[in-house]
Amino acid sequence: MFQPKRPLIIPFARIVASLRASFVVRRYFRDAVKMAKLKISSAAAPSLEDGEPFLSFIVPVYNTKPRYLRDLVESFHLQSNAGAACELILSDDGSTASGTINWLERLKGQAGIRVLRSSENGGIARATNRGVAAARGTWIGLLDHDDALAPYAAALIIDTLQRNADCQFLYTDEIIADGRLRPVDCFLKPAFDPVLLSGVNYINHLSLYRRDRLLEIGGLRSGFEGSQDYDLLLRYTAGLDERTILHLPYPAYLWRRDGASYSARFLKQATEAARKALGEHYGSVQEPASVGEARVADLHRVRFDKAPQEWPLVSVLIPSRDQLALISRTLEGLVTATDYPTLEIIVVDNGSTDQNVLDLYAHHAQTNPRFRVLMQPEPFNFSRSVNRGLEIATGSMILLLNNDVEITHPDWLTEMVSCMAYSHAGVVGARLLYPDMRLQHAGVIVGFSHLAGHWFVGEHADHPGPMGRLRVRQRFSAVTGACMLISRPCLRAVGTFDEEAFAIAYNDIDYCLRALEAGYQVIWTPFATLIHHESASRGSDVAPDKIERFRREQATLQKRHKTDVFEDRAINPWFSKDRSNPVISKLTELPDAR
């Protein structure tokens, strides 16, 4: 039997104890491993009816450094409670380095490990497909030759898959390690989000595929070097019921970042390959969709606005009263600074008395046949104002827009309407900045402070967020009503805003959550950016005369939507919920797959 030159536990003891790694990341990894150990120790060993492996790990190998192979093999041997339920297949792609060849020869005949050799170098896709074809497992896990498995990864994965018989795809969180496998960062991922996946391969490692489906779609494709895994993810998940795609919030994978990988050395080619894959996914091989850069050059933006189309009429509803400087700037932005071709503008005014404002309305009514004002003197009720506007709106999409929003880029609304091209999209929100260029709205996380809160509020406009998420489109459970686009089908399914329970606050959160319940998705885009002079027209919700109403609306939101226990799929369970800029928190038990 193979005997390593050093104790098997050393690589992971080194990982946990590294002084160079972030204390928070080390603590998180240590706690997660301890919880996994407890969970696995109380679970029954995987049952195999036919004696064949349940899970096959495939590793394409080419001139791999011996110490990398040693770490990988040791991490496989450390997979507690997995036993004969998994196998490791090393598919050599014509290696010429003597150190690699000698190591592979030493591994032959080891229990649970198989080595496939090729006389020529055919590329990572061909080497991986060779391993998949030879695999005996029902499930396939793809590993890079310079990475490693975390302790208990295989056992947790097998346990999760056997508990979820309908699962078609599973992915885990991961540790980012240096060249010596010492943790330096981690990727804490959200639940499955195809919109986010259209901008960044946030799934990455570790991904688990059903072997039969892998074979059915042809495995990995050549011609996507550096992003062949991205291309595979898009093709594999296409058409799957999202309920069969699970995320396991456990750092099962150790991703070694030493700058030696193809994608690191050839970032431009990898980026081009990713956009080629996205173009085919959202278009076809013959007519790919246009894909450009996101808010950073190596992430992606599918350009739905580049396809020939007739743009639908958008009804813009603006609740307002007096405040000449605000409403004039907003209307001017819609009329002269917005390039969207078909707009109707409806101002729902609850009692302006400023003659200058009334004259402004008259001017727009004379110059724009699609401008109307609904005037009804009454106490301000945002939901009632929206519902009044909805009664006369004729657009196939409705845009709620605060009168304190400043338009700075002409294509903002075209981008928001374009996002309705995503499957089941019903609500779209924009990126809003304070006048000093700090983030005011980059999506809402339901459950923050037992209610709901804006993500990364107050951070600089260029703040990337975890995994660069604030630079690409994605789903959220809610977005702010200060700039919210709603499709007509979603509006018919969800109904009007709740005037009684949410007159001022949380009406947007309530509406978005009702949209989710009706089967529609809420999307946020950073490519529609506006300035929000928040609460400039009506003041703060925490003023003494408003605090009682505000607290009542908070209580109603919590009771109706159980926000005190809400597990938002847009955020990883390991993130804290007591602040806008979340940190890794301590948990009492390992989260289940979701």
Neighbouring C-alpha atoms within 13 Å toward the C-beta of 78: 23
Q: How many Cβ atoms sit within 10 Å of the Cβ of residue 191?
A: 21
pLDDT digits (tens, 9 = 90+) for 130-159: 999 999 999 999 999 999 999 999 999 999
The two tokens of residue 477 are: 């459970």
Per-chain mean pLDDT for the chain: 92
Of 259, 283, 303, which residue is a domain's last?
259
Residue 2 lies in a domain: no
Looking at 3-7, 52-56, 231-235, which range is the least confident one?
Answer: 3-7
- 238 and 382 housed in the same domain: no
What's the average model confidence in pLDDT over 9-33? 66
Report pLDDT for 463.
96
Alpha-carbon distance of 433 to 359, in angstroms, equals: 30
Residue of 445, 419, 465 lying closest to 579 (CA atoms)? 445
Report pLDDT for 10.
42
Residue 465 lies in a domain: yes
- 113 and 183 housed in the same domain: yes
pLDDT digits (tens, 9 = 90+) for 39-51: 998 877 666 667 7
Domain that holds residue 151: 10-259
On whether the CB atoms of residues 403 and 332 are closer than 8 A, the answer is no
For residue 357, the surrounding DSSP H or E stretch is helix 355-367
Which DSSP category does 370 fall into? Answer: T
Give the residue carrying structure tokens 């951070």.
459
- 243 and 100 housed in the same domain: yes
Residue 22 has pLDDT above 80, yes or no: no
* Domains of the chain: total: 2
On whether the CB atoms of residues 508 and 484 are closer than 8 A, the answer is yes
Residue 281 lies in a domain: no
Alpha-carbon distance of 581 to 450, in angstroms, equals: 15
Q: Where are the beta strands (DSSP E) in 198-340?
A: 207-210, 245-256, 291-293, 300-302, 314-320
- 252 and 320 housed in the same domain: no
Residue 544 gets the label, from left (phi > 0), alpha (psi -120 to 50) or beta, of alpha
Binned at pLDDT 50, 70 and 90, residue 263 comes out as low
Residue 35 has pLDDT above 80, yes or no: yes
- 245 and 379 housed in the same domain: no
Report pLDDT for 265.
67
Residue 543 lies in a domain: yes
- 253 and 318 housed in the same domain: no
Antiparallel, parallel or unpaired: β 452-454 and 444-446: antiparallel
Which DSSP category does 312 fall into? Answer: P
Give the residue carrying structure tokens 């396991």.
248
Chain centroid to Cα 185, Å, comes to 18
Percentage of the chain exceeding pLDDT 70: 92
Amino acid at 567: E
Residue 52 has pLDDT above 90, yes or no: no
Give the residue carrying structure tokens 């007096």.
322
Give the residue carrying structure tokens 């098997």.
8
Give 249-297 as a DSSP string. EEEEEEEE-SS-SHHHHTHHHHHHHHHHHHHHHHS-SSSPPPEEE-SST
- 240 and 319 housed in the same domain: no
Antiparallel, parallel or unpaired: β 474-476 and 521-532: antiparallel
Alpha-carbon distance of 116 to 565, in angstroms, equals: 49
Binned at pLDDT 50, 70 and 90, residue 391 comes out as very high
For residue 170, the surrounding DSSP H or E stretch is strand 169-177
Contacts 24+ apart (CB under 8 A), 48-52: 48/84, 48/85, 51/84, 52/136, 52/137
- 239 and 380 housed in the same domain: no
Whichever domain contains 496, its CATH number is 3.90.550.60
Residue 287 lies in a domain: no
What's the Cα-to-Cα distance from 267 to each of 62, 128, 206, rounded to whole Å? 19, 21, 21
- 378 and 519 housed in the same domain: yes
Binned at pLDDT 50, 70 and 90, residue 428 comes out as very high
Alpha-carbon distance of 588 to 159, in angstroms, equals: 20
Residue 295 lies in a domain: no
pLDDT digits (tens, 9 = 90+) for 437-449: 999 999 999 999 9
Report pLDDT for 541.
56
Report pLDDT for 309.
82
pLDDT digits (tens, 9 = 90+) for 60-114: 999 999 999 999 999 999 998 787 899 999 999 999 999 999 999 999 888 899 9
Report pLDDT for 51.
75
- 421 and 519 housed in the same domain: yes
Give the residue carrying structure tokens 């699962």.
167
- 221 and 328 housed in the same domain: no
Report pLDDT for 330.
98
- 350 and 224 housed in the same domain: no
Binned at pLDDT 50, 70 and 90, residue 257 comes out as confident
Whichever domain contains 41, its CATH number is 3.90.550.10
Residue 259 has pLDDT above 90, yes or no: no
Residue 364 lies in a domain: yes
Residue 580 lies in a domain: no
Cis peptide before 38 (omega within 30 of 0): no
